[in-house]
Structure 1
Amino acid sequence: MPSVPTPDDARDPSARSASGTGVEDDGSTRPRTTRGVSETDRVQRAASEVRDATAAGTSEATPGEPSEGAPAGPPAPAPRSPYAKMSQPTTVRNVVWALSLTMVVVIVVAILFFGVGRDLQREIPENSRVDVTASAERAQDVAPFTVAVPEVDEGWEATGARYQDGEDPRWTIRYSAPSRGLVTMTETTAVTPALVQDLLPGAHSQGTVDVAGTACAVYVGEGEGASRGIACSADGAAILVHGDVEQEELVELATPALEAVRG
């Protein structure tokens, strides 16, 4: 590659000739200044273009992003999906917690809907009270006996009244006793052993008791805490009062019931 002339060589032709860059070795004195300057310009222009391209590439690069040709780092981990977290194995503790919460909800719903056993202090809502007199008037139109509507003392609440027609007609009134026990008065044409076993399964006779001047049979069911019953007959009708209360309360209801039958 020919030497690039310096500014001093351009001012001193004799120095350029002595260095061998201005004339040929064959003794010719023809200057080659034009060719040497042209190649120098091209080299300088190329170097300038390289610098411009490098500066442009550096300014356009986005901060924080690797430039083109730079080695790429490891990819960033993708965020975990919530469904992936839910797919982890369920532990026994989680199962126990879920079952416990479910049982609590079921118990609360059961308490609100059914109550806790038998509430001894629960009052019957006014709009739920039974009109025994109106039911008895409708039953009297078809009943073969005098339909009894006992005049009970305070503390007794009628919870239901129903007449069953057919070969074995029955007039039934259900009460809540002052002790908050449940007592049922059933009136029919006669108290038969089949009726006693139907209303008091496994019951057996246990003497008599006086009710409004009438000797009435006493029945007691099987097992501890079994229901009791008192059966009385008068004027072509029979009454069986039974429930899970003491005998005194049965007599307390049987007395006005028997008086109602007698008229």
Structure 2
Amino acid sequence: MPSLVEWRVDERPPRLWTRLYVAVMWVLRDKRAFTGQEQTVWIVRPRRRRPAARVLYLHGGGYVHPLTPDYWRLVRALTAAPAEVVVPAYPLAPVAHVDDVVPRLVALARSLDDLPLVVMGDSAGGALSLVLAGHLRGAARRPDAVVLLSPWLDATLDEDQVSDLEATDPMLEETGLRAAGRWWSGGRTTTDPDVSPVFGNLDGLPPVDVHVGAHDILRPAVELLAQRADRADDVVLTVHERTAMFHVWMTRFVPEGAQTRRILRDRVRAVARPTEPRHP
């Protein structure tokens, strides 16, 4: 079956509030890293309705940063689908690496079998989401949809445009990302598909939506993903690009973030099954 690749561009300029917010982001740009070995799993449910779908949400942070408050803003929006959102705080590099974490996430995903499932993640979590979809490709219960938010698809950052885009991205720095990618890869190369899923097998994946900003240094690898998906078999890939946006804007307290969160809620709602109100 031929594949379908679609790239949609939203060219609206950023709002004034967003411009001010980004200016503060540059001032507070975070250079710290955190490590950990344990995996805590958070489960967030809607208050007044039974969940009609489930989201397995894999957070970003370059494999070295933990969950931050911004992620819960997105999680709250997703519960309105209504959905249950499962958020694993997976072990981090350099203490842990890909071979420690991916098997845990595969086992977690396979245990989530009673509701339609969307695997979603941002940045490094976006890469993990695509890796996870590949591992679950032949499973009896695979995801119904995969959503990648500003995904870090190529840990090598070898695309020519990366250096030019760094000057426009208030969140990411190329040098630190390269180091984090090496830590995360462990005994693998950084081009291994479990580390850089843009090089993996895309045949037969569930429908994939990618949201990316034009100012994101990770955008070039999304172009490569679209090219490879176009040559793959039986995959539907839709890229949603915001020309004025930066890395992982959809978690931030800006108008464009709220707009994208509503789009993501509706994407989850599209795979949900009918549900009834939750009774006291």
TM-score by length of 2: 0.21
Larger Rg: 1
